[in-house]
Amino acid sequence: MTKPITLATYLASQSAADAALRAVVANVAQTCAEISRVVAGGALTGSLGAAGHTNVQDEEQKKLDVITNDMLRAALDGCAPVAGLASEELDTIETTGREGGFLVTFDPLDGSSNIDVNVSVGTIFSILPAPAGKVPDEADFLQPGRRQAAAGYALYGPQTMLVLTLTEGVAAFTLDAGGEWLLTHEALSIPADTKEFAINMSNQRHWAEPVRRYIDGCLQGKTGPRGKDFNMRWVAAMVADVHRILMRGGIFLYPWDAREPDRAGKLRLMYEANPMSLIVERAGGKSTTDGVAPILDLQPTKLHQRVPVVLGSANEVDQVGAVDQVGA
Ligand code: AHG
Ligand code: MN
Ligand code: MN
């Protein structure tokens, strides 16, 4: 049997990526391996339940949101090429006092409503170039997703996996029992066609008309305009829903809805939508706000900006765009 390739060996082979960038990726990956142990410990590590306060987005923080956030902060603060970081769980950016190198944005625990019921959760991260010759400020973080130097996520599921994109392509690693990341999937590619959609149907009454019509077409199955039966899946952790799409195709929607018209969508651009969009595009899928506009081209205006998300199998995302163009 050939020896599996470790993450360290894989990173060493990625000579098209800056060595400092690879060091940041290794640091985040190591922290995710440590987070995996805390997550797996559940009640035994005293990490379940609410932390007793809310974050900047007015969401109740779970203990694990706080624990994982602190683990990533500490690790990145000690990582030489990192000049600054931003997190879903922090009101403002934090700087390390260093200049140049990279900025890291992250969702330390995605899908935190799943944690107390032992369902998959994850960590999402995005790495951006930092400005040279100055300590970064918030404006330096507001770069379009296309400028990401790398992006990835860890999925804490039946297996703990790390999915990464550096300069090109998407690779996935599985954490072995000894705590080592081993390459298990190379050149991941999302099939262009699918019969599986993921959306929180309980929000149906709040959706815009094109999304209603698109989903209605899927629900009509063989006898409707699409001429095929669809299946529905919703894990309620973007990491897990996107991972399924990377493995076997599908479409994921967290669309604009009318609950809070000024707050476009639920998912956050800088540490959820952008890193996932880079991974999805690099795997041959599409990631848009509405079936048409690529998320990676958006110019961010706020650190905690929210965006509608429609991503996944290319032809299916195009279907949403086609409905959209017909108009409401
Ligand atoms: P987070 O736990 O980081 O706040 O993110 C949860 C997000 C996302 O992962 C998921 O797709 C969505 O919220 C689930 O939303 P619903 O509550 O509508 O199911
Ligand atoms: Mn999240
Ligand atoms: Mn989170």
Residues within 5 A (CB) of ion ligand 2: 107, 110
> 140: CA distance to ligand 2 center in Å?
22
Q: Could you tell me if residue 232 is inside a domain? A: yes
Q: Cα 127 vs. chain centroid, distance in angstroms?
A: 12
Q: Which atom of ligand 1 is nearest to the CA of 113?
A: 2
Q: How far is the CA of 206 from the centre of ligand 1 (A)?
A: 17
* Mean pLDDT along residues 164-186: 97
| Domain count of the fold of the chain | 2
Domain-ending residue, one of 159, 185, 211: 185
Q: For residue 150, what is the enclosing H or E element?
A: strand 150-156
Residues 93 and 133 both lie in one domain:
yes
Average model confidence (pLDDT) across the chain: 95
Judged by average pLDDT, the poorest of 42-51, 99-108, 186-195, 280-289 is 42-51
Q: 234 and 266 share a domain?
A: yes
- Ligand 1 pocket test target in 57, 254, 310 with most atoms within 8 Å of CB: 254
| Residue 12 identity (one-letter amino acid) | A
Same domain, yes or no: 230 and 83: no
Is 191 part of any domain? no
Cα(120)–Cα(111) distance, integer angstroms: 8
* d(C-alpha 287, C-alpha 267), whole Å: 13
Would you list the DSSP string of 111-125?
TGGGGGGT--EEEEE
The CATH number covering residue 38 comes to: 3.30.540.10
Q: Measure 255 CA to ligand 1 centroid, in angstroms.
A: 12
If asked whether residues 165 and 214 sit together in one domain, one would say no
Q: What is the pLDDT of residue 54?
A: 86
For residue 234, give the ligand 1 atom closest to its CA: 19
Structure confidence at residue 327 as a pLDDT band (50, 70, 90): very low
Q: Is the CB of 111 under 6 A from ligand 1?
A: yes
Q: Report CA-CA distances (Å) from 181 to 17, 70, 173, 184, 185.
A: 19, 22, 6, 9, 12
Q: Among 61-70, 78-87, 237-246, 259-268, which stretch is predicted with the lowest mean pLDDT?
A: 259-268
CA pair distance 121, 236, nearest whole angstrom = 9
Integer Cα distance of 249 and 314 in angstroms:
9
Sole residue written with tokens 């000690």: 78
- Looking at the fold, whether 145 and 276 belong to one and the same domain comes out as no
How far, in Å, from the CA of 307 to the mean position of ligand 2? 12
What is the span of the domain harbouring residue 84? 7-185
Ligand 1, atom 12: nearest CA belongs to which residue?
A: 236
Choosing from 60, 201, 267 the residue with most ligand 1 atoms within 8 A of its CB, the one to mutate for a pocket test is 267
**Are 167 and 220 contained in the same domain?**
no
Q: What is the pTM of this model?
A: 0.96
Is the predicted pLDDT of residue 222 greater than 90, yes or no? yes
**203 and 175, same structural domain?**
no
